[in-house]
């Protein structure tokens, strides 16, 4: 029996279909703080909602990537165990709001997200905060390499996609550290789309078959890189990362934690196996998902649900009664 037939004959549980309630709750609770200038208040409301919903899920999840250490983040801290204690043991990465500054400013592309995989499979890169990343779709597999010059990668990807380099669009976080990278993209003839925040959404878009971006490049958070890998596995795309410590002290912390430097981490090294889940709900409107909207007595959310094992991509639009949330 083929693997496809086996999945059909013996369907198993998609944990992400339960986790989406937690991202929906976090996104809805963040709405009153959109555009109000207080990112900590928005994050606090989202964290509280996500934690409460996670407690109802039939699993035992260990937060590998969370809001920091226990003393710094009383909820959803690294090492915290969530869920009702029954069902599978999992590693999870959580970000109640990826884009707190975007939310506070009322800007697009803020999401609430959770990634999950089997226990012990998710790379704990928390000792090194940043990593250099390259994310693209399936056309880039065996074609691009993060160790190659940017222009060379763009020309190779353009050839694989059968389109001119001038039509490529590259997503990059808008940070001073990326001035040289942006210049290299422009010198190659490609265009850039500068992200104010949230390179998880940018990476997922670049790996998607119908995304706006052809590639996502640059230095961003290591936790976000691991979470993105969970999504990329379902999308069949490519992600490569190289740790980027800010100084020798941080590099030594990484070495002590068993991390490798001058090494290209692939999707399988960032998260092992194919039993990966990724779910994100829009907080504000963005290229990946729409944000939360109140339509009279209804609160409407949009989420994307990705599963590595089946390669399934689901988009879920849900209507919630306002009276149940705000009454």
Residue 221 is assigned to a ligand binding site: yes
Q: Is 95 annotated among the ligand-binding residues?
A: yes
Which residues are CB-contacts of 94 (< 8 A; sequence separation ≥ 6)?
A: 50, 54, 63, 65, 66, 67, 76, 113, 114
Is 67 assigned a ligand-binding role in the annotation? Answer: yes
Residue 262 to residue 242: CA distance in whole angstroms: 7
**Is 312 one of the annotated binding-site residues?**
no
175 labeled part of a ligand binding site? yes
Instruction: Tell me if 224 is assigned to a ligand binding site.
Output: yes
Contact call for residues 205 and 171 (beta carbons, < 8 A): yes
| 265 known member of a binding site | no
Q: Binding residue per annotation — 199?
A: yes
Asked whether residue 48 is marked as a ligand-binding residue, the answer is no
96 is in an annotated binding site: no
**Is 130 within any annotated ligand binding site?**
yes
Q: How many whole angstroms separate alpha carbon 65 and alpha carbon 76?
A: 9
77 is in an annotated binding site: no
Q: Count of residues for the chain?
A: 327
Known binder of ligand: residue 69? no
Q: How far apart are CA 306 and CA 203, in angstroms?
A: 14
Task: Report yes or no: 102 and 109 within 8 Å, Cβ to Cβ.
Answer: yes
Q: Is the four-CA dihedral 318, 322, 325, 326 of positive or negative sign?
A: positive
Q: Which residues belong to the annotated binding site for substrate?
A: 98-100, 130, 175-177, 197-199, 221
Q: Which residues belong to the annotated binding site?
A: 43, 67, 95, 98-100, 130, 175-177, 197-199, 221, 224
Q: Which residues belong to the annotated binding site for Mn(2+)?
A: 43, 67, 95, 98, 224
């Amino acid at each position: 029996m083929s693997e496809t037939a086996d999945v059909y004959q013996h369907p198993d549980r998609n944990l992400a279909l339960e986790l989406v309630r937690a991202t929906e709750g976090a996104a809805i609770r963040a709405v009153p703080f959109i555009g109000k200038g207080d990112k900590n208040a928005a994050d606090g409301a989202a964290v509280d909602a996500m934690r409460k919903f996670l407690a109802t899920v039939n699993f035992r999840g260990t937060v590998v990537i969370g809001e920091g250490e226990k003393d710094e983040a009383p909820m959803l801290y690294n090492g915290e165990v969530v869920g009702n204690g029954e069902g599978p043991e999992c590693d999870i990465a959580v970000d109640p709001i990826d884009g707190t500054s975007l939310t506070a400013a009322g800007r697009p592309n803020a999401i609430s997200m959770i990634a999950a995989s089997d226990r012990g499979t998710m790379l704990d890169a928390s000792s090194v905060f940043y990593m250099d990343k390259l994310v693209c779709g399936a056309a880039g597999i065996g074609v691009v390499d993060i160790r190659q010059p940017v222009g060379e990668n763009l020309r190779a990807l353009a050839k694989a996609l059968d389109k001119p380099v001038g039509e490529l669009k590259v997503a990059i976080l808008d940070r001073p550290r990326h001035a040289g990278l942006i210049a290299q993209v422009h010198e190659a003839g490609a265009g850039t789309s500068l992200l104010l925040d949230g390179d998880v959404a940018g990476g997922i878009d670049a790996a998607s078959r119908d995304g706006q971006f052809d590639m996502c490049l640059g230095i961003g958070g290591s936790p976000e890189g691991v979470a993105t890998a969970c999504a990329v596995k379902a999308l069949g795309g490519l992600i490569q990362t190289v740790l980027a410590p800010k100084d020798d002290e941080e590099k030594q912390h990484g070495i002590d934690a068993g991390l490798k430097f001058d090494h290209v981490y692939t999707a399988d090294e960032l998260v092992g196996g194919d039993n990966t889940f990724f779910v994100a709900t829009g907080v504000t409107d963005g290229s990946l998902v729409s944000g939360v909207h109140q339509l009279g007595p209804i609160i409407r959310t949009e989420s994307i649900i990705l599963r590595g094992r089946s390669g399934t991509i689901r988009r879920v639009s849900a209507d919630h009664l306002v009276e149940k949330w705000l009454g």
